Amino acid sequence: MIKISVIGFGNVGQHLASAFEKNDTVELVQVFSRSGKIADVAFSHKIVDDLNDLKPADVYVISVSDKSVAEVSRELPFSGRLVVHTAGSLGMDVLDPKNSKGVFYPLQTFSKNKSVDFLSVPLCLETENAADLELLEEIAKSVSKNVYRIDSAQRKALHVSAVFASNFANHMYAIGHDICTEHQIPFEILQPLILETANKILALSPRQAQTGPAVRHDQNTIDAHLALLSDANQKNIYQILTHSIQNEREKL
């Protein structure tokens, strides 16, 4: 079994540690949590709060806040082993050179109190040394069916794409929620629409799937919507995204 320790116990670290703990290809050796909190998890006895307590492992997965990755990699009290981080927005080079470097980036949105089917989470891999890539791939394939080789430059672009497709899409839900609340409409009415809009992209490209007054150039409806919106920020976003949809179509 491939021995893995997870360093960091935030949203990503918790989901990763759980996925490793549950499978037979890898052995979850330890989980480092600075606060040392023993959460209510199957592997709570493996949690350590001192980097000096880390035992030998084949791979160390650093899953801490972006700004702490470099520092934690420097603090590791060993060298010559494989150390990877999980950050979409960081290059591989932020890791300290005393260990072999790699990236194990799960492209998913993780929230506390919301479980995730890890098998469907795309894992984007990169390593400094070719041999390490095979090891990472074996690990990745043991927990996910979607494994990709993505270099640092691509990963940064992918991270920006994900901000649009996930963070900003969610913000569109939030504005829809606000408008519903303002007009005493239960938000649940929008839920099937939100799910279907997302599901459509499995069958159609986002451009093929685009519907609504903007893409129809239905100026009457657009004007009525702008007149109804009382919030200046919502109105501004409505106009900019309407123009963006219309200009995009003209490029086709």
- Judged by CB under 8 A, the chain residues 71 through 130 that form the site for a second copy are 89, 107-111, 113-114, 116, 120-122, 124
- Site for a second copy (CB under 8 A): how many residues? 95
How far is residue 85's CA from residue 75's CA, in Å, rounded to a whole number? 14
Give the x/- contact pattern for a second copy in 226-245, rule: CB under 8 A: --xx---xx-xxx-xx--xx
Could you tell me the sign of the dihedral formed by the alpha carbons of 188, 192, 197, 198, in that order? positive
Least distance from a second copy to the Cβ atom of residue 142, Å: 17
Q: Is the Cβ of residue 80 or residue 186 nearer to a second copy in the bound state?
A: 186
**Residues from 178 through 237 that contact a second copy (CB under 8 A):** 179-180, 182-187, 189-215, 218, 220-221, 224-225, 228-229, 233-234, 236-237
Q: Is the Cβ of residue 51 or residue 175 nearer to a second copy in the bound state?
A: 175
Instruction: Tokens for 36, please give them.
Output: 């040392």
Query: Residues 161, 217, 250, 252: which binds a second copy (CB under 8 A)?
Result: 161
Q: Is the Cβ of residue 78 or residue 148 nearer to a second copy in the bound state?
A: 148
Q: Is the Cβ of residue 131 or residue 227 nearer to a second copy in the bound state?
A: 227
Least distance from a second copy to the Cβ atom of residue 136, Å: 17
- The answer to whether 138 and 2 are in contact (CB under 8 A) is yes
The answer to the question of residue 142 lying near a second copy (CB under 8 A) is no
Q: How many Cβ atoms sit within 10 Å of the Cβ of residue 242?
A: 19
Least distance from a second copy to the Cβ atom of residue 85, Å: 14
Q: Is the Cβ of residue 11 or residue 51 nearer to a second copy in the bound state?
A: 11
- The answer to whether 236 and 175 are in contact (CB under 8 A) is no
- The answer to whether 123 and 104 are in contact (CB under 8 A) is yes
Q: Give, as one character, the DSSP assignment of residue 231.
A: -
Close Cβ partners of 162 (under 8 Å, ≥ 6 residues apart) = 88, 107
- The strand pair at 26-32 and 100-106 is best described as unpaired
In 3D space, the residue among 53, 54, 43 whose CA is nearest the CA of residue 81 turns out to be 54
Q: Is the Cβ of residue 57 or residue 158 nearer to a second copy in the bound state?
A: 158
**Residues from 10 through 69 that contact a second copy (CB under 8 A):** 66-67
Q: How many Cβ atoms sit within 10 Å of the Cβ of residue 208?
A: 9
Per CB under 8 A, which region of 19-27, 35-43, 49-57, 157-165 contacts a second copy? Answer: 157-165
Please state the φ and ψ torsions of residue 31, each to the nearest 5 degrees: -130, 125
